[in-house]
Amino acid sequence: MDFEIIFDNLGLYVEGMWLTLELVSLSLLAGFILAVPMAIMRVSKNYFIAAPVRLFVYIFRGTPLLVQIYIIYYGLGQFDAVKDSFAWPFFKEAYFCCLFAFALNTGAYTVEILRGAIAGTPFGEIEAAVSVGMSRILMLRRIILPSAFRRALPAYGNEVIFMLHGTSLASIITLVDLTGAARIVNSRYYSPYEAYLTAAVFYMGLTFTLVWLFKKLEFKWFAHLRPRKETV
Amino acid sequence: MFDLHGYFPALMEGLSVTISLAFFSLFVAMGLGIFGALAKLSRNKGVQSIANFYTTIIRGIPELVLMLLLFFGGQTMINQLAAFVGYEDYIDINPYFSGVATIGFIYGAYMTETFRGAILAVHKGELEAGRAYGMSGGQVFIRILFPQMMRHAIPGFGNNWLVLLKATALVSVIGLDDIVRKATLAAGATKKTFTFYIVVAICYLILTTLSVWILNWLEKKYSVGVRTA
């Protein structure tokens, strides 16, 4: 191990880490915003409302993220219609394509997580909401979604970790995230251990921080399920 | 719609590499998973902590980073080892082998967790009964533990398999001629990037769909004799 290589390039890794964090948080945010209405459509009893969401989820969960990124980044340029459209300035940027692919991918997984959580709502709660005359929208806002989010939290925590790891694919289409920084260091010095182990340590730090944050959040959100502290 | 300009056979060749790579990695992962699960549940503290270390480390690092580390790092390490024992020539690791080893090693950690849960779901009394009849530890494992834990393991196992299958796309980055790389080469030559990557996506979709069908069938098969309401 040559620690000098690591210290000399620490700045590059830190910059990479910021890009990784930026990609993770923006794609999770966009994915979540996409996922909530789609999850509501997905549990609809009307086949024609649920079916498009099912198809979307099926396609994005059934293909590798790398292939999705390639289709968006390299694939769309095949069509002149896309190249001439207003969207081309975005789709020719690796950064935007990555965010787009990540958001759709995590959105698809989040829809399934939320669907399970919504389906798990105790029916008595819905009956109670109907009996006090709540409309469907009000019921979603006050009864179904809050408890569904709570039930979805442990699974969503896993999805966040998967997305953190998934953003490493951004390095394949030239972005310099944490993995990209490691690849630059490796190609500059040909020292794979120093380059990739450093990135690995950064990723582990991020992963464990996220796991810890979600544990704390679970502790808070599931406060009502904790056994009562003995007061005597 | 899909004019593949004569690249169809090349893509199918790549697909066969993807499938065989996925299967061999699965075997490695299952072997490691069973050993890891037994190690985690063993009474020996040392063995336990090695298994815990393995699963914690692997699950904290992205697959791509691990793959690059094991591919480039493994190459360097083997050559240093070879030089150490007096072997002079440069050893080039076969990317196929290192792909199988890496993916197997990574998903072994996920399998460990799945199998650990499944083993815990088997009644302890049944294992004790086996020992009471004078079966050896290995016999108890093969006759009692394994057939029953499989039922509990299948849902988690199925998820791991689907993730593993999709992770094989990453081996194209370390230069293996899987379907993604074949498509990249074909797309580079014909400028039909969208067409070729969509074909790859469809191939993966077919594989995952088939897998889900087979896993559902297996789940039913292993749950014969389980009564549900």
In tens, the pLDDT along A30-67 reads 999 999 999 999 999 999 999 999 999 999 999 999 99
- Please give the residue of chain B at the shortest CA–CA distance from A59: B205
Predicted local confidence at residue A81, as pLDDT: 83
Helical segments of chain A, H only? 3-8, 10-42, 47-62, 65-70, 80-84, 88-91, 94-119, 123-131, 136-139, 145-166, 178-189, 192-221
* pLDDT above 90: percentage of residues in chain A: 72
B195, A179: Cβ pair inside 8 Å?
no
For residue A218, tell me if it sits in a domain.
yes
Mean local confidence (pLDDT), A193-205: 93
CATH code of A200's domain: 1.10.3720.10
* Chain A positions in Cβ-Cβ contact with residue B201 (cut-off 8 Å): 59, 63, 67-68, 71
For residue A14, the enclosing domain spans 3-225
Mean local confidence (pLDDT), B105-129: 92
Query: B53, B167, B48, B160: which is closest to B102 by C-alpha?
Result: B167
* CB contact B69 to A (< 8 Å): yes
For residue A232, tell me if it sits in a domain.
no
The interface predicted TM-score (ipTM) is: 0.88
In tens, the pLDDT along A142-160 reads 999 999 999 999 899 999 9
Hey, what are A118's tokens? 């919504």
In the DSSP assignment, the letter for residue A141 is: I
Residue B146 — pLDDT band, cuts 50, 70, 90? confident
Mean local confidence (pLDDT), A112-132: 92
Provide the 3-class DSSP secondary structure of residue B147: helix
Domains and CATH numbers, chain B: 18-176 (1.10.3720.10)
A172, B173: Cβ pair inside 8 Å?
yes
Round to whole Å and give the CA distance between B159 and B212.
9
For residue A54, tell me if it sits in a domain.
yes
B194, A78: Cβ pair inside 8 Å?
yes
Q: How far is CA B88 from CA A179, B77, B84, B93, B190, in A?
A: 33, 14, 9, 15, 43
For residue A63, tell me if it sits in a domain.
yes
Mean local confidence (pLDDT), B205-212: 95
Q: How many domains does chain A have?
A: 1
